[in-house]
């Protein structure tokens, strides 16, 4: 990350939530010259960005007051509501500091209903909202190759597109508020099912006495190939469970997907099985490990 003091001709940007994904994403915006103000509950996580030229605020409200475009990246729906709308300390929330005409862009993965509710409340104050969840894991965040699915007003999307293109390789407007989060739910369903399939394939290869890595190499280059087989299976086979994306978060995302489906009257039995497996992994105490740890729920590892 190159130090930057910002470019006064660019919009002022804020970023709230500097975890595995948020910190490198905020760093790309700072490196691009955007004047950046950041906040994180654990202040130590702001140190790298501060050293590169970012201003550190003492609350989400202070970030909003200093910014034209405010990004958020937190864990779950209640966390996002607390940051934007206010929890115990409503005075410290983004909605209290944002001005009419400013834009809030949420990179979290939350319930579609949460996104539409927040958008409606911000609109009453003249503040625009985009739900813009991302996929690609820590590697995608670090390399700025994320896929970003955006819900909200098309014109507002176009205003933020130059910034989003600093964060991801594929950026698409997918519909009104809530559509971004619904698209992310679909992404998480596919990813989780592919992970479970990967785990069963590795378990069978081991049980049959096959070399799991050679098996992975050949099937990954045929019709059964997937992103999970290419990127996460080698780590699973090697016993490397460091998180690029945590299993506990995947479990949370499957809950969101199933709740959204239920609200639409849709039954997703395979997704329910995947949720069962990730819940089991969390119950095993592996929620902070990478999603590739799903192999621990299959056979003798």
Beta carbons of 179 and 153 less than 8 angstroms apart: no
What backbone torsions phi and psi does residue 190 show, to the nearest 5 degrees? -60, -45
User: Which position has the token pair 């002022």?
Assistant: 12
User: Which position has the token pair 């739910």?
Assistant: 185
* Domain 13-176 classification at class level: alpha beta
pLDDT of residue 91: 86
Torsion of CA 187, 25, 69, 124, to 10 degrees: 30
- For residue 215, give both structure tokens: 């098996």
Q: How far apart are CA 176 and CA 164, in angstroms?
A: 17
Would you give per-residue pLDDT tens digits along the chain (301 residues)?
554 555 668 999 999 999 999 999 999 999 999 999 999 999 999 999 999 999 999 999 999 999 999 999 999 999 999 999 997 778 899 999 999 999 999 999 999 999 999 999 999 999 999 999 999 999 999 999 999 999 999 999 999 999 999 999 999 999 999 999 999 999 999 999 999 999 999 999 999 999 999 999 999 999 999 999 999 999 999 999 999 999 999 999 999 999 999 999 999 999 999 999 999 999 999 999 999 999 999 975 4
Domains 13-176 and 183-297 share a fold: no
Element spanning 73, H or E = none
> Considering only CA atoms, which of 147, 13, 138 is closest in space to residue 71?
13
Those residues whose C-beta lies under 8 Å from the C-beta of residue 262, and which sit 6 or more positions away, are: none
Where do runs of H (alpha helix) occur along the chain?
Answer: 22-31, 47-51, 60-65, 77-84, 94-97, 112-123, 137-143, 154-164, 179-207, 212-220, 227-231, 233-238, 247-263, 269-283
What are the residue numbers of the active site? Answer: 184
Q: How far apart are CA 182 and CA 25, in angstroms?
A: 22
pLDDT of residue 5: 52
> Residue ranges per domain, the chain?
13-176, 183-297
Give the CATH fold of the 183-297 domain. Answer: 1.10.1040
Q: How far apart are CA 1 and CA 111, in angstroms?
A: 32
């Amino acid at each position: 990350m190159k130090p930057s003091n910002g470019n006064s001709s660019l919009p002022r940007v804020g970023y709230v939530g500097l975890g595995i994904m948020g910190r490198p994403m905020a760093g790309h915006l700072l490196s691009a010259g955007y004047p950046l103000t950041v906040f994180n509950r654990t202040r130590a996580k702001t140190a790298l960005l501060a050293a590169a030229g970012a201003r550190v605020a003492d609350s989400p409200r202070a970030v909003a007051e200093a910014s034209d475009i405010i990004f958020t990246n937190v864990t779950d729906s209640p966390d996002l509501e607390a940051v934007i709308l206010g929890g115990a300390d409503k005075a410290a929330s983004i909605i209290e500091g944002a001005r009419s005409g400013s834009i809030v862009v949420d990179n979290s993965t939350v319930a579609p209903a949460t996104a539409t509710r927040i958008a409606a409340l911000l609109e009453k104050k003249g503040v625009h909202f985009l739900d813009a969840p991302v996929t690609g894991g820590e590697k995608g965040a670090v390399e700025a190759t994320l896929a970003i699915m955006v819900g909200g007003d098309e014109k507002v999307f176009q205003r933020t597109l130059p910034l989003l293109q600093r964060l991801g390789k594929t950026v698409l407007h997918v519909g009104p508020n809530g559509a971004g989060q619904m698209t992310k739910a679909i992404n998480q369903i596919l990813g989780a099912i592919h992970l479970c399939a990967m785990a069963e394939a590795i378990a069978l290869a081991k049980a049959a006495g096959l070399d799991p890595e050679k098996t992975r190499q050949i099937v990954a280059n045929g019709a059964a190939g997937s992103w999970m087989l290419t990127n996460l299976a080698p780590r699973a086979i090697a016993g490397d469970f460091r998180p690029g994306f945590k299993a506990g978060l995947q479990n949370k995302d499957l809950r969101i997907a199933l709740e959204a489906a239920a609200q639409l009257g849709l039954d997703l039995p395979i997704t329910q099985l995947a949720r069962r497996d990730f819940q089991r992994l969390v119950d095993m105490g592996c929620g902070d490990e990478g999603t590739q740890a799903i192999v621990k729920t299959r056979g003798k590892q």
